[in-house]
Structure 1
Amino acid sequence: MSRFRSIVGRAMLATALLLGCQTASSAQTTPRQPLRIYAAGSLASSFSDLLTAFGTPPATAVQATYGPAGALRERLEHGETAELFASADMAQPRRLAQGGHKGSVVMFARNRMCAIGRSSLGLTPANLLSRLLDPAVKLATSTPGADPSGDYAWAIFKRADGVHPGATAMLEDKAQQLLGHPGARALVPGHSAAEGVFLSGRADVLIGYCSGASVLRNAVPDLVAVQFPQPLDVSAPYGLIVLSGNPIAMRFALFILSDAGQTILAQHGLIPVTLSGTHSP
């Protein structure tokens, strides 16, 4: 039933976007506006490919801003403008919709959470929690509130109490929030913030999105990625909202939901939600 409601919801959004495209296109008398996109940092590579495949009109300037979704949402609430906002969760676009931005929120992909750590730790799904609880293992996460990845990590911590009583408090106490907050800086020049976590020796394990694990492992030697098993695993749905009547933004949102767009997302390690003939786990 929940899958049926999700499909119906996306179909309704597609209909609304199509109608919006027709209305905005027929009413447009001013020069074409830029396509300004605010999107979660974990979407940077996939959205770059999506925009290339989408092929915006020559007169349309694309301005893409990537970063922690919670921080981007706050910037939009404080007056910055974008035509489309894509988040690594559903909460951020819903807050914009509830705060007065007229637009429908739709889930366009999902992700998984992984523990990415040094191979010397011997991480496996079976021993993952005990390794994370080991006082000698330095643990890093993103920042809850500012970045959905941090919220997902804290949700995993809450589930841990059901497996090991007292684990929630222990994990929250030892976790270093090294990523995702507005003031976060790369710990090692020339490397991403996530790479710097390991290259600087600040952490042995980073809780993050499985979709980004392969890039991180290519940059930092001797890392492994282990997906959180049940009952620790949490769902990581990604949501978007179109924030203006710009027909290019509406068509781009439809492209993300199309088979072609969903295939590109899958190529970047995300789980498609509308790809024909597939079923998300």
Structure 2
Amino acid sequence: MKKNQSILLQSMLFSTLAASAGLASAQQAPAAPAITIYTAGSMSGALGEITRQYTSQTGQPVQLVSGPAGALLDKIEHSAKADIFVSANMAHPQRLTAEGKASSSVVFARNRVCVSARPDVGLTTGNLLDKLLDPNVKIGTSTPKSDPGGDYAWELFAKAGTVRSGATQILEAKAQQLVGGAVAPQVPGGQNPVKYFMETRRVDVFIGYCSSHSPKPDTTFTQVELPPELAISADYGMTVLVSKQDAATHDAAYRLAMYLMSPAAQRVLTSYGFTAVARQ
């Protein structure tokens, strides 16, 4: 009887020690490496909220690097470390796919081009082209090629030329490329560049996206939709980079990419003014 009790006690002790060793091993295990997303600046607010939710649910840390998508593409092509790339167009991620640097590209979200103005400009959808062509109205844009937002502005100018003769040349000459380029005017620290340039009257209107960096858009300025004949939509592309990291990191990037297409994530996008592409 005593022998059986001794065996039982030894067994219980072994189990306790094994469990303790397992707990210690888990506590000493390195934290999961962060998944790095290179994202267009216009998507940074929404992605920030989505990835915070994801980290809270899974424990997976996520690092966001935001900026003009064209500039981010250039960095990735020159070996910058990124696991997922979200661009304000499809051309940039598709280019990485074609180069063998990324998996297939998918449409992650949709956006539209809008024009923001100070209230005193009196901008409406109905008078938008007249206001843009007004010699007294100064226009701000992002920088073409470096930033898809600038490319969309130039697309708007091209459409304007089909509506009114000579409009394209006038608008291109007037446009001040203030953000998204390698060289841009200085902005005080912590200031939103677009807001700063309009408040200081460097420009009167700014051609950008209808989405916002916050679920509660800034109502300081008037934002108007383009008229149907000038309307421009923007498809945001996403791709997972062909990782040189370990398989676990690569798998984690794919899991995060799948989450970004989930109904929960897509609902967040709509609250920031984007159009969801996945069924909610």
After TM superposition, the score normalised by the length of structure 2 is 0.82
Distance 1:215 1:268, change over 3 A: closer
Distance 1:102 1:78, change over 3 A: same
Aligned to 2:19: none
Aligned to 1:240: 238
Which blocks of at least 5 consecutive residues in structure 2 are unaligned? 1-29
Which letter does structure 2 place at the counterpart of 1:240? M
Aligned to 1:49: 49
- Whole-angstrom CA distance in 1 between matches of 2:173 and 2:102: 40
Query: What is the count of residue pairs matched by the alignment?
Result: 244
Distance 1:107 1:166, change over 3 A: same
Give the greater-gyration-radius structure (CA): 2
- Whole-angstrom CA distance in 1 between matches of 2:210 and 2:46: 14
Q: Superposition pairs for residues 1-281 of structure 1, below 5 Å? A: 32-55=32-55, 57-58=58-59, 60-184=60-184, 186-212=186-212, 218=218, 221=220, 223-243=221-241, 244=243, 246-276=250-280
User: How far is 1:182 from its partner?
Assistant: 2.9
User: RMSD of the TM alignment (CA)?
Assistant: 2.1
Which letter does structure 1 place at the counterpart of 2:279? L
User: How far is 1:235 from its partner?
Assistant: 1.4
User: How far is 1:141 from its partner?
Assistant: 0.2
Distance 1:184 1:199, change over 3 A: same
Distance 1:198 1:188, change over 3 A: farther
Which letter does structure 2 place at the counterpart of 1:81? K
User: How far is 1:199 from its partner?
Assistant: 2.3
Which blocks of at least 5 consecutive residues in structure 1 are unaligned? 1-29, 277-281
Percent identity at matched positions? 41
SS of alignment partner, residue 229 of structure 2 = coil
User: How far is 1:213 from its partner?
Assistant: 8.0
After TM superposition, the score normalised by the length of structure 1 is 0.81
User: How far is 1:275 from its partner?
Assistant: 2.2
- Whole-angstrom CA distance in 1 between matches of 2:194 and 2:79: 29
Are the counterparts in 2 of residues 84 and 242 from structure 1 also a CA contact under 8 Å?
yes
Provide Cα deviations, 1:223-269, integer angstroms capped at 9, x if missing partner. 10001111101110100000136122111111111111110111111
User: How far is 1:216 from its partner?
Assistant: 9.7
- Whole-angstrom CA distance in 2 between matches of 1:213 and 1:264: 12
